[in-house]
Amino acid sequence: MKTKPVLTIFLLAAGLLLLWLQMPVAASPAAQVAFPSPTPGPDGKIIYIVKAGETCTQISLLYGVSVEYIRTTNLLDQNCTLREGQALLIGVGVASGATATPGPSPTPTPVLPTVTPSAGGTAQVCVLVYDDINGDALRQSDEAAIAGAAISLTSADGTYSQTQTSVINPDATAYQGMCFTNVPMGKFSVSVAAPDGYNPTQNLTSSLEVNPGDTDYVNFGAQPKAVAAAAPTSKGPSPLLGIIGAALLLGGIGMGAYTWRMLRK
């Protein structure tokens, strides 16, 4: 009879342990870290000095400047390799002491059409909507253009507004984006509506400033909905542990009641 209290205690402890394993672990709140914002110099350029171990992605997240802008503006290699103490141009402000504003963020493609300044001081804006296979919002060389996306270019003052639908030109061997020509100088907003069956992998609105004779390139990524649906999802604790724990707990309680009754006889 002495072994029954020990068995009862074991069953109760095992049941409580398994139930405790089912309880979610509270995550500690992330620490808030403030980063200083560089200010424009006398020439209006916003320069950032690279610290040891920093990457283009970290600087992009800290100051709201795209990785492609950092890489292309500072003539970095394809991997956006940085070195400690390197001075990076991350934007252009109006004057020293003004709030830092990132420069335009067009993303050049590997092969681009020849830039031909338009007559009358106008420019052109070329927009490419591509199949973002890996979902990283950065166009790779094997990520092809997709058709059926609605592309809009609108000036901030509302005097210019044009819309095109992306198409695939089988005769073109280079750039497959849609170009708006004879665009006047000024500030513009580019927005895209993903084609049917696609989900965007990034914000489908971008702002840029157009200057006479410029050709600006903007890329937007989207993925087929089937690809996004197939992405793995995180799973919580298995309910099996909770069921086993509850069963052991009930068994321990029943065994305890039975032992108590036997001891009273």
What is the strand order of the sheet 198-200 is part of?
178-183, 123-131, 215-224, 198-200
Over residues 106-147, the pLDDT tens digits come to 555 555 555 444 445 689 999 989 998 888 888 888 888 899
Is residue 33 situated within a structural domain?
no
The model's pLDDT over 238-258, given as tens digits with 9 standing for 90+, comes to 677 777 777 777 777 777 777
Residues 110 and 175 in one domain: yes
Helix 239-264 and helix 3-22, axial crossing angle in degrees, nearest 10? 160
Provide the CATH number for the domain around residue 157: 2.60.40.10
More confident residue, 59 or 33: 59
The domain of 252 spans: 3-19+240-264
For residue 88, give both structure tokens: 């990076």
Instruction: Tell me the average pLDDT of the chain.
Output: 77
Q: Domain check: are 114 and 88 in the same one?
A: no
Strand 123-131 to strand 215-224: parallel, antiparallel, or no bridges (unpaired)?
A: parallel
Considering the domain architecture, whether residues 124 and 221 belong to the same structural domain is answered as yes
For residue 217, is it within any domain?
Answer: yes
Of 70-74, 166-170, 183-187, the least confident? 166-170
User: Residue 63's pLDDT is what?
Assistant: 84
Residues 215, 206: Cα–Cα separation, whole Å: 16
Within this chain, do residues 220 and 244 fall inside the same structural domain, yes or no? no
Residue 233 within a domain: no
Distance CA 195, CA 218 (A): 17
Question: Does residue 26 lie within any of the structural domains?
Answer: no
Burial 227-241 (b: 16+ CB within 10 A, else e): beeeeeeeeeeeeee
Whether residues 92 and 198 share a domain: the answer is no
Residue 232 belongs to a domain = no
For residue 32, what are the CA distances in angstroms to 29, 35, 57, 97, 160? Answer: 9, 10, 19, 25, 42
Q: What is the largest CA-CA distance in the chain?
A: 109
pLDDT per residue over 200-217, tens digit each? 988 889 898 999 888 998
DSSP bridge pairs for 125? 180, 216
Domain total in the chain: 3
Query: 10 versus 88: which is more confidently predicted?
Result: 88
Report CA dihedral (221, 35, 71, 82) to the nearest 10 degrees.
-130
Do 201 and 139 have their domain in common?
yes
Residue 249 lies in a domain: yes
The count of other CB atoms within 10 Å of the CB of residue 71 is 22
Q: Are residues 145 and 95 in the same domain?
A: no
Looking at 99, 128, 148, which one is the last position of a domain?
99
250 and 186 in a single domain? The answer is no
Query: For the ranges 80-89, 156-165, 245-254, which has the lowest average pLDDT?
Result: 245-254
Give yes or no: residues 169 and 217 share one domain.
yes
32 domain residue, yes or no: no
Q: Does residue 10 belong to any structural domain of this protein?
A: yes
Pairwise CA distance, residues 82 & 74, whole Å? 10
Q: 117 and 91 in one domain?
A: no
Residues 142 and 205 in one domain: yes
Higher pLDDT pick, 43 / 137: 137
Question: By percentage, how much of the chain surpasses pLDDT 90?
Answer: 20
Q: Which residues pair with 180 in a beta bridge?
A: 125
pLDDT of residue 37: 60
DSSP-H helix ranges across the chain: 3-22, 56-63, 67-73, 225-229, 239-264
Q: Are residues 180 and 118 in the same domain?
A: yes
Q: Which CATH number covers residue 75?
A: 3.10.350.10
CA distance 97 to 210: 24
The answer to whether 74 and 66 are in contact (CB under 8 A) is: no
Mean pLDDT of 190-198: 89
Structure tokens given for 58 = 């970290």
Cβ atoms of 218 and 149 within 8 Å: the answer is no
